[in-house]
């Protein structure tokens, strides 16, 4: 839990320092169309809000091409 709290602190720090909102997001979505990720620090990252908002919940990095076709 401390690793997750640290990520939220980092997102808040970046938001303060840059004036741009940063969020903690799940790399593999918690409720994706094909797979569900976990709410743990190795499935989370701090990023700017805009790429996160445009990513959607049906995609994750290195998603196999075969699964993209199913969407």
Digit-coded pLDDT (tens) for 12-37: 999 999 999 999 998 888 877 777 78
User: Model pTM?
Assistant: 0.72
pLDDT score, position 70: 43
Domain spans in the chain, listed from the N-terminal domain onward:
2-70
Q: How confident is the model at residue 62 (pLDDT cuts 50, 70, 90)?
A: low
DSSP string, 25-52: EESS-TT-SS----SSGGGEEEEEHHHH
The larger pLDDT score, comparing residue 68 to residue 55, is at 55
State what percent of residues in the chain have pLDDT above 70.
76
Query: In sequence order, what are the residues at sequence separation of 6 or more whose Cβ sits closer than 8 angstroms to the Cβ of residue 65?
Result: none
pLDDT at position 42 is: 93
User: Could you tell me if 60 and 27 are in contact, meaning their C-beta atoms sit under 8 angstroms apart?
Assistant: yes
Cβ atoms of residues 44 and 26 within 8 Å: yes
């Amino acid at each position: 839990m401390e690793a997750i709290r640290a990520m939220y602190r980092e997102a808040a720090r970046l938001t303060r320092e840059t004036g741009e909102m940063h969020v903690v997001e799940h790399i593999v979505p918690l409720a994706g169309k094909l797979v569900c990720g976990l709410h743990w620090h190795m499935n989370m990252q701090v990023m700017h809000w805009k790429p996160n908002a445009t990513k959607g919940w049906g995609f994750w990095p290195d998603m196999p091409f075969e699964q993209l076709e199913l969407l």
